[in-house]
Amino acid sequence: MTDFQVWAAAQQQRIEEALSQMLPQPTVAPQRLHQAMRYVVLGGGKRVRPLLAYAAGELAGADPQRVDAVAAAVELIHAYSLTHDDLPCMDDDSLRRGKPTCHVEYDEATALLVGDGLQALAFQALAGKPLADDCAIQLEMVGLLATASGSRGMVGGQAIDGESVGKALSQPELEFMHIHKTGALIRASVQLGALCGQTLDSAEMERLLHFAKCIGLAFQVVDDILDAESTTATLGKTAGKDAEANKPTYVTILGANQARAFAAELHQDAMHALEPFGDRAGRLRQIADFIVKRQF
């Protein structure tokens, strides 16, 4: 295993335990809802957003116990978005993280409530204990996650995604959609992780956010390439969904080769943004490498 794989496995184990503790036990009423919440959150996923939070926390010298809450919050929002996105009224998918989607394993009403419950739990994680020395910063963190998740962030991106089916979007329009749908939560993961630590000056925070914007977009470009070129077995979710749904993607707009070149360009830009941080940004660099080289 590489140094990054060892670190990532340790953080994945750490977030698994934090999430398991935070989620209501399956024996707590209403049992079926709590079992379903645990079903969608535990034991799967790459945990990219928590990894980013831990790495940004490391850069800012944060106490990892504080970052646990932030890492759990962003993963809970992510899990809620996947559960709702898979519903018949949205992407109508039956496979997620290598197992039946929540509405298939349980039912649609449960899947809807699972998402709602996870979203509320994410905010409980952020508000439940001190995460910053200055409570004004913690308040800012709660607001930041709300903006990133809501209609001016992820949910807004999802709305644009729904409206764009069958349309020929320009590259800037596609970028606008992804900066909201995927990028906002990735950016929030980095920013929230950093806010658990020592205050970065505004130029440092700007660089960090530019890094987050670039890797958020690179993540989506790679996701489009994988959706077009990989298999359902490798991805653990249905491959070829974008073409089937007639959705504009980086592959349809640029072609696979240019999309790969664009991902490499974004990666380079992201690395450049981290230069002044030196070794403190080592883990963020490794995550950026993983995001562009990943096969699933």
Interacting residue ranges for ligand GRG, rule: CB under 6 A? 45-46, 48, 78, 81-82, 84-85, 90, 97, 154-155, 158, 181-182, 223
Q: How far is the CB of 281 from ligand GRG (least distance, A)?
A: 21
Stated as kind and residue range, the H or E segment containing 117 is helix 108-127
Measured from the CB atom, is 68 or 93 closer to ligand GRG?
93
Q: Residue by residue, what is the 3-state secondary structure of 124-184?
A: HHHHCCCCCCCHHHHHHHHHHHHHHHCCCCHHHHHHHHHHCCCCCCCHHHHHHHHHHHHHH
Measured from the CB atom, is 110 or 158 closer to ligand GRG?
158
Q: Do 23 and 41 touch, CB atoms closer than 8 A?
A: yes
Measured from the CB atom, is 81 or 138 closer to ligand GRG?
81
Which residue's Cβ lies closest to ligand GRG?
Answer: 45
Measured from the CB atom, is 97 or 210 closer to ligand GRG?
97
Q: Do 226 and 82 touch, CB atoms closer than 8 A?
A: no
Q: How far is the CB of 32 from ligand GRG (least distance, A)?
A: 22
87-99 CB burial, b ≥16 within 10 A, e <16 = beeebebebbbee
Helix axes 184-195 and 135-149, enclosed angle (nearest 10):
170
Q: How far is the CB of 253 from ligand GRG (least distance, A)?
A: 16
Measured from the CB atom, is 6 or 296 closer to ligand GRG?
296
Q: Do 84 and 92 touch, CB atoms closer than 8 A?
A: no
Measured from the CB atom, is 81 or 252 closer to ligand GRG?
81
Stated as kind and residue range, the H or E segment containing 95 is strand 95-96
Q: How far is the CB of 93 from ligand GRG (least distance, A)?
A: 9
In the block, residue with structure tokens 């883990």: 283
Q: How far is the CB of 9 from ligand GRG (least distance, A)?
A: 15
Q: How far is the CB of 97 from ligand GRG (least distance, A)?
A: 5
